[in-house]
Structure 1
Amino acid sequence: MKELDIDGMQGKGGVINRRSFVKGAAAACAGLATGGPALRALAPDTAHAKGALAEGKWVSSCCVGCTSWCSKQVYVINGRAVKIRGNPHSKTNGINSCPRAHLALQQVYDPDRVKSPMKRTNPKKGRNEDPGFVPISWDEALDMLADRIMELREKDETHKFMLMRGRYTELRDLLYDRLPKIIGSPNNISHSSICAEAEKMRYFQEGQWAYMQYDIPNTRYVLIWGADPLVANRGVSSYLNSWGRALDNARIASVEPRLSGTGSKCDEWLPVKPGYDGALASAMAHTILVEGMWHKPFVGDFFDGENRFIPGHEINEYTFLEEHTHGLAKWWNLYLKDASPEWAEPLCGIPADQIRRVALGFAAAAPNCISWVGGGPAMQPRGTYGVLAANALNGLTGGCDNIGGVLRYNSRSYQGFPSLDDYMDDIAKVGVKKEKIDQRGRLEWPNLASGRSGGGVNTNNVADAIINEDPNEIKVAMGYFNNFNFSCPGTGRWDQAMSKIDFFAHLTTHASEMSFYADIVLPVNHCMFESWGTLDNSSNGYRSVSLMQPAIERLWDTKSMETEIPWLLAEKLAQRGFDNLLRYYQTIVDPETGKSPANDKEFELYAIKHRMQHFWDPAQSKGGDKFSGWEEFVEVGVWNSDPYSYRARWSNMGTKTGKFEFYSETLKDALESHAEKHNTTVDHVMEVCNYLARGDLAFIPHYEEPYEWGDPVEYPFKFVDYKARLNREGRSSNCPWYLQLKDLDPGDKSYEDVAKLNPIDGERLGIRTGDKIRLTTPVGSIVCTASLWEGAQPGTVAKCFGQGHWAYGRYAAKVFGKEALGANNNDIIPVDNDRLSGSTAFYGHIRLKVEKA
Structure 2
Amino acid sequence: MIVKDGIVRNIEPDFDCRRISPGEGRVCVKAYGLVQKMYNSNRIKAPLIRTNPKKGKGEDPGFREASWDEALDLVSERLGEIRKRGLLDDKGYPRLAVSMGEAGSPAGYGGTFPALLSSWGPIDFTLGGGEGSKCYHSEHLYGELWHRAFIVASDTPRNKWILSFGHNTNASAGVSGAMRHADARERGYKRIQVEPHLSVSATTSDEWIPIKTKTDAPFMYGMLNAILHEMDWRKVCDLDFIKKRTNSPYLIGPRGYYLRDPETREILVWDSMDNCPRIYNDPSVKDFALNGRYRVRAMERGPDGEEWFYEEAGCSPAFDVLLEHMKPYTPDWASEICDVPASTIRRLAREMIDSACIGKEIEICGEKVPLRPVAITLGKTVNNGPGGYQACWARTVLAMLTGSLEVAGGSIGASQRLNRPHHDRWSSIWPGEDGFFQNFLNPTDTERRAKLQKTRSHYTELVPLVGNTGWSPFLSPVPHAWLWFKDTPENWEKPTYPDVWIIYRTNPNMSMYYTDIME
Matched, 1:222 2:162: yes
Residue 450 and residue 208 in structure 1: after superposition, are their counterparts in 2 closer, same or farther (change >3 A)?
farther
From 159, 166, 180, the counterpart of 2:101? 166
Q: Tell me, yes or no, if the aligned pair for 1:201 and 1:388 is still in contact at 8 Å.
A: no
Q: Tell me, yes or no, if the aligned pair for 1:202 and 1:391 is still in contact at 8 Å.
A: no
Residue 476 and residue 468 in structure 1: after superposition, are their counterparts in 2 closer, same or farther (change >3 A)?
farther
For residue 514 of structure 2, what is the aligned residue in structure 1? Answer: 490
For 2:422 and 2:60, the matched residues in 1 are separated by: 47
Give the superposition deviation at 1:228. 0.6
SS of 1:212's equivalent in the other structure is strand
The letter of the residue matching 1:329 is D
RMSD of the TM alignment (CA)? 3.3
Give the superposition deviation at 1:242. 2.2
For 1:207 and 1:451, the matched residues in 2 are separated by: 19
Give the superposition deviation at 1:128. 3.0
For residue 650 of structure 1, what is the aligned residue in structure 2? Answer: none
For 2:408 and 2:505, the matched residues in 1 are separated by: 37
For 2:402 and 2:221, the matched residues in 1 are separated by: 14
Give the superposition deviation at 1:175. 6.2
Give the superposition deviation at 1:458. 2.8
For residue 407 of structure 2, what is the aligned residue in structure 1? Answer: 402
Give the superposition deviation at 1:193. 0.9
For 1:410 and 1:119, the matched residues in 2 are separated by: 39
SS of 1:408's equivalent in the other structure is strand
Give the superposition deviation at 1:300. 4.2
Q: Tell me, yes or no, if the aligned pair for 1:279 and 1:347 is still in contact at 8 Å.
A: yes
For residue 283 of structure 1, what is the aligned residue in structure 2? Answer: 222
For 2:478 and 2:343, the matched residues in 1 are separated by: 41
Residue 140 and residue 148 in structure 1: after superposition, are their counterparts in 2 closer, same or farther (change >3 A)?
same
Q: Tell me, yes or no, if the aligned pair for 2:131 and 2:477 is still in contact at 8 Å.
A: yes
Q: Tell me, yes or no, if the aligned pair for 1:282 and 1:390 is still in contact at 8 Å.
A: no
Instruction: After TM superposition, list the pairs within 5 Å mapping 1:45-84 onto structure 2.
Output: 74-84=1-11
User: CA offsets, 1:482-532, max 9 Å, x none?
Assistant: 1112232333222x1xxxxxxxxxxxxxxxxxxxxxxxxxxxxxxxxxxxx
User: CA offsets, 1:165-223, max 9 Å, x none?
Assistant: 11263126876755345333331246321222222233376331411332212111001
Q: Tell me, yes or no, if the aligned pair for 2:166 and 2:381 is still in contact at 8 Å.
A: yes
User: CA offsets, 1:650-679, max 9 Å, x none?
Assistant: xxxxxxxxxxxxxxxxxxxxxxxxxxxxxx
For 1:120 and 1:237, the matched residues in 2 are separated by: 39
From 423, 435, 440, the counterpart of 2:454? 435
For residue 139 of structure 1, what is the aligned residue in structure 2? Answer: 69
What TM-score results when the alignment is normalised by the length of structure 1? 0.42
Residue 251 and residue 341 in structure 1: after superposition, are their counterparts in 2 closer, same or farther (change >3 A)?
same
The letter of the residue matching 2:322 is W
Instruction: After TM superposition, list the pairs within 5 Å mapping 1:734-749 onto structure 2.
Output: none
The letter of the residue matching 1:397 is T
Q: Tell me, yes or no, if the aligned pair for 1:439 and 1:465 is still in contact at 8 Å.
A: no
The letter of the residue matching 1:147 is E
User: CA offsets, 1:65-88, max 9 Å, x none?
Assistant: xxxxxxxxx343343333335554
For 1:95 and 1:462, the matched residues in 2 are separated by: 44
Residue 365 and residue 85 in structure 1: after superposition, are their counterparts in 2 closer, same or farther (change >3 A)?
farther
Matched, 1:202 2:153: no
Matched, 1:179 2:116: yes
Which runs of 5 or more structure 1 residues have no equivalent in the other structure? 1-73, 305-313, 320-325, 416-431, 497-853
SS of 1:278's equivalent in the other structure is helix
Residue 192 and residue 171 in structure 1: after superposition, are their counterparts in 2 closer, same or farther (change >3 A)?
same
For 2:479 and 2:12, the matched residues in 1 are separated by: 35
Residue 94 and residue 387 in structure 1: after superposition, are their counterparts in 2 closer, same or farther (change >3 A)?
same
What TM-score results when the alignment is normalised by the length of structure 2? 0.67
Residue 388 and residue 85 in structure 1: after superposition, are their counterparts in 2 closer, same or farther (change >3 A)?
farther
Residue 87 and residue 397 in structure 1: after superposition, are their counterparts in 2 closer, same or farther (change >3 A)?
farther
For residue 465 of structure 2, what is the aligned residue in structure 1? Answer: 448
Give the superposition deviation at 1:120. 1.8
Matched, 1:347 2:337: yes
SS of 2:170's equivalent in the other structure is coil
Instruction: After TM superposition, list the pairs within 5 Å mapping 1:100-111 onto structure 2.
Output: 100-111=30-41
Give the superposition deviation at 1:230. 0.7
Runs of 4+ aligned structure 1 residues displaced above 6 Å come to 173-176, 410-413
Which runs of 5 or more structure 2 residues have no equivalent in the other structure? 89-93, 250-271, 274-289, 296-316, 357-371, 425-450, 489-493
SS of 1:441's equivalent in the other structure is helix
Q: Tell me, yes or no, if the aligned pair for 1:217 and 1:404 is still in contact at 8 Å.
A: yes
Q: Tell me, yes or no, if the aligned pair for 1:200 and 1:211 is still in contact at 8 Å.
A: yes
Matched, 1:386 2:362: no
Q: Tell me, yes or no, if the aligned pair for 1:117 and 1:138 is still in contact at 8 Å.
A: yes
Q: Tell me, yes or no, if the aligned pair for 1:96 and 1:240 is still in contact at 8 Å.
A: no
User: CA offsets, 1:96-121, max 9 Å, x none?
Assistant: 34545422221122121111112122
For residue 365 of structure 1, what is the aligned residue in structure 2? Answer: 355
Higher relative contact order, chain-length normalized (CA < 8 Å, sep 6+)? 2
Give the superposition deviation at 1:433. 5.7
Give the superposition deviation at 1:129. 2.7
SS of 2:11's equivalent in the other structure is strand
Q: Tell me, yes or no, if the aligned pair for 1:399 and 1:406 is still in contact at 8 Å.
A: yes
SS of 1:474's equivalent in the other structure is coil
User: CA offsets, 1:34-90, max 9 Å, x none?
Assistant: xxxxxxxxxxxxxxxxxxxxxxxxxxxxxxxxxxxxxxxx34334333333555434
Q: Tell me, yes or no, if the aligned pair for 2:95 and 2:123 is still in contact at 8 Å.
A: no
For 1:474 and 1:410, the matched residues in 2 are separated by: 33
For residue 330 of structure 1, what is the aligned residue in structure 2? Answer: 321
For 2:129 and 2:292, the matched residues in 1 are separated by: 46
Give the superposition deviation at 1:163. 0.9
From 482, 496, 499, the counterpart of 1:472? 496
For 1:200 and 1:332, the matched residues in 2 are separated by: 27
For 2:219 and 2:513, the matched residues in 1 are separated by: 27
Q: Tell me, yes or no, if the aligned pair for 1:180 and 1:188 is still in contact at 8 Å.
A: no
For residue 459 of structure 1, what is the aligned residue in structure 2? Answer: 478
For 1:277 and 1:414, the matched residues in 2 are separated by: 33
For 2:412 and 2:351, the matched residues in 1 are separated by: 21
For 1:327 and 1:77, the matched residues in 2 are separated by: 67
User: CA offsets, 1:544-590, max 9 Å, x none?
Assistant: xxxxxxxxxxxxxxxxxxxxxxxxxxxxxxxxxxxxxxxxxxxxxxx
Q: Tell me, yes or no, if the aligned pair for 1:466 and 1:474 is still in contact at 8 Å.
A: no
For 2:45 and 2:203, the matched residues in 1 are separated by: 42
Q: Tell me, yes or no, if the aligned pair for 1:199 and 1:375 is still in contact at 8 Å.
A: no
For residue 125 of structure 2, what is the aligned residue in structure 1? Answer: 188
Q: Tell me, yes or no, if the aligned pair for 2:149 and 2:412 is still in contact at 8 Å.
A: no
Residue 253 and residue 451 in structure 1: after superposition, are their counterparts in 2 closer, same or farther (change >3 A)?
farther
Residue 231 and residue 209 in structure 1: after superposition, are their counterparts in 2 closer, same or farther (change >3 A)?
same
Matched, 1:246 2:251: no
For residue 129 of structure 1, what is the aligned residue in structure 2? Answer: 59
User: CA offsets, 1:391-436, max 9 Å, x none?
Assistant: 3211111111222112223799859xxxxxxxxxxxxxxxx96411
For 1:462 and 1:175, the matched residues in 2 are separated by: 28
Residue 408 and residue 78 in structure 1: after superposition, are their counterparts in 2 closer, same or farther (change >3 A)?
farther
For 2:11 and 2:160, the matched residues in 1 are separated by: 32
User: CA offsets, 1:620-642, max 9 Å, x none?
Assistant: xxxxxxxxxxxxxxxxxxxxxxx
Give the superposition deviation at 1:160. 1.6
Give the superposition deviation at 1:315. 4.5
Identity of aligned residues (%): 23
Residue 244 and residue 140 in structure 1: after superposition, are their counterparts in 2 closer, same or farther (change >3 A)?
closer
| Comparing 469-478 and 383-392, the one that deviates more | 469-478
Matched, 1:481 2:486: no
For residue 746 of structure 1, what is the aligned residue in structure 2? Answer: none
For 1:122 and 1:451, the matched residues in 2 are separated by: 38
Residue 230 and residue 349 in structure 1: after superposition, are their counterparts in 2 closer, same or farther (change >3 A)?
same
For 1:241 and 1:277, the matched residues in 2 are separated by: 27
Q: Tell me, yes or no, if the aligned pair for 1:119 and 1:133 is still in contact at 8 Å.
A: yes
From 268, 279, 282, the counterpart of 2:207? 268
